[in-house]
Structure 1
Amino acid sequence: MAETKLPFISREENRHGTPVVFVRRNGRRIRIHEPEGTPAFARAYAEAVESLGEPPSKRRKPTSDLPVYPKGTLGWLGVQYFASRGKDEFMSLDNDSRRARRNSLEKDCFTVALSDDDPEHMGFCPFKYLSGQKMKRMIEAADGPGARTNRRKHLSALCAWGVENNHLPSNPVRDIKSGRAEATDGYYTWQIPDVQQFLAFHSGAARRSRKARLALGLLLFSGSRRQDMVTLGKQHCRGSVPDQIGDWISYVPKKTIKKRRTMVQKPLLPVLKKIITESWDILGAMTFLITEQGKPFTAAGFGNWFRDRCDEADLQQCTAHGLKKAGATIAAENRATVHELMAMFDWSSPRMAEVYTRKAEQKRLAGGAMGLISLDRIVNEDCRTEPDAVVAHAQKSS
């Protein structure tokens, strides 16, 4: 049957090699189960397009631009900060950090009301009226401990920049607390049975299943962040012979590229080398992993794609980031040191590595000591008080 020519249609093969049809829009997708060319297909397609919403290009634009803040106000300071260039200034941040910080300040902090009785936005507050209490009001307007921590960090960076550039006499955020963050373990850490279940499901010869196994290998055995992993290719592990993979991976981590262009080098583990070699015919020209359109993945796009592969294997709790956590956990339990973990996973400080070594050490200590809780083994069974000893001696003599 001829393929339907409609916008937003995406075609893939499932693990059995059977073609399937999706409606893909705004970063999400819905599968169409009805046969193409039938009225049922047309109805399902229309419902999917409507449920996925309008594309960004057709969304209604705001009726007004951001307000123009007078000189000497918090909003005006933000405008100057967003245009700052140079080492360690706003424009030196990576795109994701700039977008997150600007949205946090411009759309969240500057639009908070000055007080319960004054609906004027905080962005119009003059410098001379900026106080720790006003900063606290903006911070506490965020929903949740994590959001308040981030908002305090962004406000403090803005005010510190203002102090350094002679706009503010001091940083009013310095002594304001954001509240204690909730202690969580974050993303679910994959267990060995999860990896086995994923590989068992994606054991077919279909291209998507082979790509899924390659992705799992890169996430688990390369020690790289997702944003770096999607850029890795043959050029990062060249061997001495052309068109052959070498024994080392070399790349510059994106997270620190603005601060230092330090090349990291890691051995290409035999298990990962084998996975890459077996996937040679589906590798991209410049990156190991490519989309169905033959282009490199973005970090977010890969996360969504891998999320679908996990869902297909009935591993809804698993994510791409959770595989990196699994690798760090396994390494720590095999007695990797803090500095070894830092080198393996591109961490510039020991803080994150110590999370894994502490957990591994607790597990080792508990494993060696829990056997001491035993009713059959009482080390101090002959230790008695003096009166008990006298009684026992008298009974023995009689």
Structure 2
Amino acid sequence: MARPRDRSNRFLPEFVTREKNRHGNVRYRFRKKGLPSGYFKATLGTEDFRTEYHAFLNPSAEKPKIARSTAAPGSLDEALDRYMNPITRLGPSEITQQKVKAVLEDFRNGDETSGYRGTRMLRGINFESVDKILAKKRVKTGVGNKTKGGINAAIKLRKELVRFFDFCLKAGLCEVNPAAQSEKLKVAIGERTKGFHTWTEAEIQQYRDHHKLGTRERLAMELYLWTDQRRCDVFKMGKAQIVGGRIPVVQAKTGKALWVPLAPQLLEAIVAMPPHLTSPFCFIVSRKGTAYTKESFGNWFKDACVAAGLMHHNGHGLRKATLRRLAELGTANKPMKALSGQERDETLAIYTADADQKRLADQAITALARWEMQAKQEDRDGEYRFTAND
């Protein structure tokens, strides 16, 4: 008679078990008689997890071959292909790697004016060339969510080009780093932005009034608001992951492991969901019952915001709203970093600057007003008053 599966593993795929190491971190292990066992690297519920699962089931399957670069020696194409192989050179997490790769590929492809840059010889690129490329990138084009370029995009491009040409310098592909020699970009007052819009309390209530409990749209908003996580982590959260009233999160961007407690408001939204609109593996599923990708999840939630009359709102603005709330309550940095996963006070300050400024300004005016009133009272008390006996 087969031994019944542990209750904590009842929602997991066959031959997969949940284990907790001595540090309290949850890991998933594949074990089947006759096949090699191993631990999953990907997060439960993701496409990468399913790929790993099938690889464990079919260990003899042929692995994809790494494509060799056919670029001309000494060209930008050859240097970029070498730099991005292995892709782990671009960053510590898959999300960072893909973002950096997109920046470099955009640089390689060029624009309508410059044409394709990949065939250019690396040694022919100097700091003046880089300055011109950055000047073009600094000009923002498009409208709404279809914008490209801008000062922040130019700063990011220069940063990645400095790293790229530094690699080329060490590899003997060039003699100088033209990106490092290029002019540093400075943000003009008119170009400064506060990033994604931070939701106000009135806007949160407006969204709740439009999307009632029991809808996917409402649950998505509460997940963003009460977990304070990024889109790339929220879209793959599910019931099967809950352990001891907390959701374990391994942040896709940073790799940091967190335990996020379930707030009563979030639990209410989870319980209110009809079974046909959700899944044990993923809270938010499409109408076909399949999980979203992080991109399609973000687009779907954006549509939900527009339907509620919130035209310039998105999920990241709710992450900022959670930190704004905590800052307004006077919460110390350490608890806020424990929830959001931020590691540096300087990064956290970007999210809480407005709330901190209001709170500290209130304290300053209150202290100043109290001081003046006390000074006047002391002056009145010190005045000599004439009486009838004088």
TM-score range for the pair, normalised by the shorter chain length: 0.5 to 0.7
1:272 Cα deviation (Å)? Answer: 1.3
The residue that corresponds to 1:198 in the other structure is 207
The residue that corresponds to 2:218 in the other structure is 213
Give the letter aligned to residue 76 of structure 1: E
Among 307, 313, 316, which residue is 1:312 paired with? 307
1:185 aligns with 2:194: yes
The residue that corresponds to 2:335 in the other structure is 340
1:71 Cα deviation (Å)? Answer: 1.5
The 3-state SS of whatever aligns with 2:196 is coil
The residue that corresponds to 1:250 in the other structure is 248
Among 174, 178, 187, which residue is 2:180 paired with? 174
Q: Call closer, same or farther: CA 1:112–1:173 in 2, change over 3 Å.
A: farther
Structure index of larger Rg: 1
Q: Call closer, same or farther: CA 1:166–1:235 in 2, change over 3 Å.
A: farther
Among 224, 232, 236, which residue is 2:237 paired with? 232
Q: Call closer, same or farther: CA 1:351–1:96 in 2, change over 3 Å.
A: same
The residue that corresponds to 1:266 in the other structure is 260
Give the letter aligned to residue 85 of structure 1: P
The residue that corresponds to 2:167 in the other structure is 161
Give the letter aligned to residue 88 of structure 1: R
The 3-state SS of whatever aligns with 1:255 is coil
Whole-Å Cα distance in 1 between the matches of residues 91 and 260 of structure 2? Answer: 32
Q: Is the contact made by 1:332 and 1:356 (CA closer than 8 Å) also made in structure 2? A: no
The 3-state SS of whatever aligns with 1:251 is strand
1:319 Cα deviation (Å)? Answer: 1.7
Give the letter aligned to residue 263 of structure 1: A
Whole-Å Cα distance in 2 between the matches of residues 347 and 328 of structure 1? Answer: 11
The residue that corresponds to 1:105 in the other structure is 107
1:78 Cα deviation (Å)? Answer: 1.9
1:228 Cα deviation (Å)? Answer: 0.5
1:293 Cα deviation (Å)? Answer: 0.8
The residue that corresponds to 1:4 in the other structure is none
Q: Is the contact made by 2:131 and 2:182 (CA closer than 8 Å) also made in structure 1? A: yes
Whole-Å Cα distance in 2 between the matches of residues 310 and 96 of structure 1? Answer: 27
Give the letter aligned to residue 189 of structure 1: T
Q: Call closer, same or farther: CA 1:123–1:313 in 2, change over 3 Å.
A: closer
Whole-Å Cα distance in 2 between the matches of residues 338 and 112 of structure 1? Answer: 47
The 3-state SS of whatever aligns with 2:178 is coil
What is the total number of aligned residue pairs between the two structures?
295
Whole-Å Cα distance in 2 between the matches of residues 377 and 89 of structure 1? Answer: 60
What CA deviation, in whole Å up to 9, does each residue of 1:191-226 have, x standing for no partner?
A: 11111111112237xxxx611111111010011111
1:349 Cα deviation (Å)? Answer: 3.0
Give the letter aligned to residue 288 of structure 1: F
Q: Is the contact made by 2:286 and 2:292 (CA closer than 8 Å) also made in structure 1? A: yes
Q: Is the contact made by 2:241 and 2:281 (CA closer than 8 Å) also made in structure 1? A: no
Among 276, 283, 286, which residue is 2:278 paired with? 283
Q: Is the contact made by 2:258 and 2:339 (CA closer than 8 Å) also made in structure 1? A: no
Whole-Å Cα distance in 2 between the matches of residues 168 and 106 of structure 1? Answer: 17
Whole-Å Cα distance in 1 between the matches of residues 348 and 173 of structure 2? Answer: 39
Q: Call closer, same or farther: CA 1:125–1:302 in 2, change over 3 Å.
A: closer
Q: Is the contact made by 2:226 and 2:322 (CA closer than 8 Å) also made in structure 1? A: yes
Give the structure-1-normalised TM-score: 0.65
Pairs within 5 Å for 1:132-151: 132-142=127-137, 143=139, 144-151=150-157
Q: Is the contact made by 2:162 and 2:177 (CA closer than 8 Å) also made in structure 1? A: yes
The residue that corresponds to 2:365 in the other structure is 370
The 3-state SS of whatever aligns with 2:260 is strand
Q: Call closer, same or farther: CA 1:163–1:235 in 2, change over 3 Å.
A: farther
Q: Structure 1: which 5+ residue stretches go unaligned? A: 1-66, 114-119, 239-245, 384-398
Q: Call closer, same or farther: CA 1:264–1:92 in 2, change over 3 Å.
A: closer
Q: Is the contact made by 1:112 and 1:121 (CA closer than 8 Å) also made in structure 2? A: no
Give the structure-2-normalised TM-score: 0.66
Whole-Å Cα distance in 2 between the matches of residues 216 and 122 of structure 1? Answer: 42
Whole-Å Cα distance in 1 between the matches of residues 80 and 158 of structure 2? Answer: 15
The 3-state SS of whatever aligns with 1:139 is helix
1:93 Cα deviation (Å)? Answer: 4.6
Stretch deviating more after TM superposition (71-80 or 304-313): 71-80
The 3-state SS of whatever aligns with 1:97 is helix
Whole-Å Cα distance in 2 between the matches of residues 313 and 93 of structure 1? Answer: 33
1:123 Cα deviation (Å)? Answer: 4.2
